[in-house]
Amino acid sequence: MDGNPLTVELPAANARTLGGASRRFVFERPRRGPWLQLLDPRGLEWNRLTVAIDDLPPALGGLRLLHLSDLHLRPKWLRAYDELIQGIDANPPDLIVVTGDFVEHRMNFRSTLPALERLVKRLNSRLGTFAILGNHDGDLLGPRLLDWGVHLVSGRTARLESPDAVLELIGVPSVSRLDPIGAFVRSVRPRQRGVPRIVLSHFPDSIRELAPLGADLILAGHTHGGQCCLPGGLPLVTHDSLPKRMSKGVHEVPGGALLVVSRGLGFATLPVRVFCPAEVIEICLQSLPLSHSDGIGMG
């Protein structure tokens, strides 16, 4: 790792591959969430993304990551958090990654800390929770998350290593749009062949500066998918400079990476979602091109 390494032993995994016609990913929505979520994002979608990665070590075939974003916790505990915990406990992933905005009120988050602690301590996975901070969090939240066992990778590179494989998680500084992303990207060492690289970036439009990293996946949030959309999911406002169609789902971007933009779990400002249900995304890594013809889509 650049700076102080984070070393986590990877458990042995049975390689699972899908052959056939060349496909880079399969995105599936097993269940559609409610068109209206008011005060509580219960009924959240548990979506699935299967990704083919070149030169994936066999030990990482079938590795499962759960991507969470934009929790925007407030003091009150919501039923949606119980849904999330129950879903995780039913089939714990290998790894949980969070792309920022743990809390809603950046300047006055102290009343939210009990709910946040309760939630993050229940995020159950084999390798732990790795996260970056978002623009609602502020740097003062970081020490609290560290105390609760979250591995913060904002501005850092974490290498998860075992005798058979290495996986890199790169955390883009994302507390402010003024963070020096270009300088950070230049500080990251070149990618090694056979070492998958996953980048965590709160802001999707940071992709314009991230191509030199040579990432396989760039996971992002921030947009909430629009949060309040027209029928069919067309967002009205995304707070991001990418085309509105890229405010959610999976997209191929310059540099060869797949950009995965989560609609997030919580609410920003007004506690309402319209035609844009909350989601978590379970990501499964595979080593050969995918053959599925069903489920291909942008989310």
Per residue in 45-94, pLDDT (tens digit) is: 999 999 999 899 999 999 999 999 999 999 999 999 999 999 999 999 99
List helix spans (H) across 204-286: 207-210
Token pair of 20, please? 């056939």
Query: Is there a domain that residue 9 lies in?
Result: no
Query: Is there a domain that residue 208 lies in?
Result: yes
Q: DSSP assignment, residue 180?
A: -
Query: Is there a domain that residue 12 lies in?
Result: no
pTM of this prediction?
0.91
Token pair of 198, please? 């996953």
Query: Is there a domain that residue 15 lies in?
Result: no
- DSSP β-bridge partners for residue 94: none
So what's the pLDDT on residue 205? 95
Is a pLDDT exceeding 90 seen at residue 22? no
Query: Is there a domain that residue 299 lies in?
Result: no
Token pair of 195, please? 């070492």
So what's the pLDDT on residue 3? 45
- DSSP β-bridge partners for residue 234: 230
User: What's the alpha-carbon Rg for the chain, to the nearest Å?
Assistant: 18
- CATH number, domain of 78, equals 3.60.21.10
So what's the pLDDT on residue 138? 81
- DSSP β-bridge partners for residue 112: none
Is a pLDDT exceeding 50 seen at residue 299? yes
List helix spans (H) across the chain: 79-90, 113-120, 142-147, 181-187, 207-210
Domain count, the chain: 1
So what's the pLDDT on residue 10? 55
Is a pLDDT exceeding 70 seen at residue 255? yes
> Chain centroid to CA 97: how far?
5
Token pair of 164, please? 């058979």
Is a pLDDT exceeding 70 seen at residue 293? no
Top-confidence residue, 15 or 246: 246
Question: Scanning the structure block, which residue is given the tokens 């309760």?
Answer: 118
Q: Average pLDDT, stretch 24-42?
A: 96
Coil, helix or strand for 251?
Answer: strand
Query: Is there a domain that residue 190 lies in?
Result: yes
Query: Is there a domain that residue 183 lies in?
Result: yes
Query: Is there a domain that residue 51 lies in?
Result: yes
Q: What is the domain extent for residue 141? A: 24-286
Mode of pairing for the β-strands spanning 258-261 and 249-252: antiparallel
Is a pLDDT exceeding 90 seen at residue 213? yes
Q: How far apart are CA 43 and CA 279, in angstroms?
A: 9
Coil, helix or strand for 95?
Answer: strand
Mean pLDDT, rounded, of the chain: 89
- pLDDT digit string, tens, across residues 159-211: 999 999 999 999 999 888 888 899 999 999 999 999 999 999 999 999 999 99
Instruction: Report the greatest alpha carbon distance in the chain.
Output: 53
Which of 127, 118, 45, 124 has its CA nearest to residue 92?
Answer: 124
Q: Average pLDDT, stretch 98-104?
A: 96
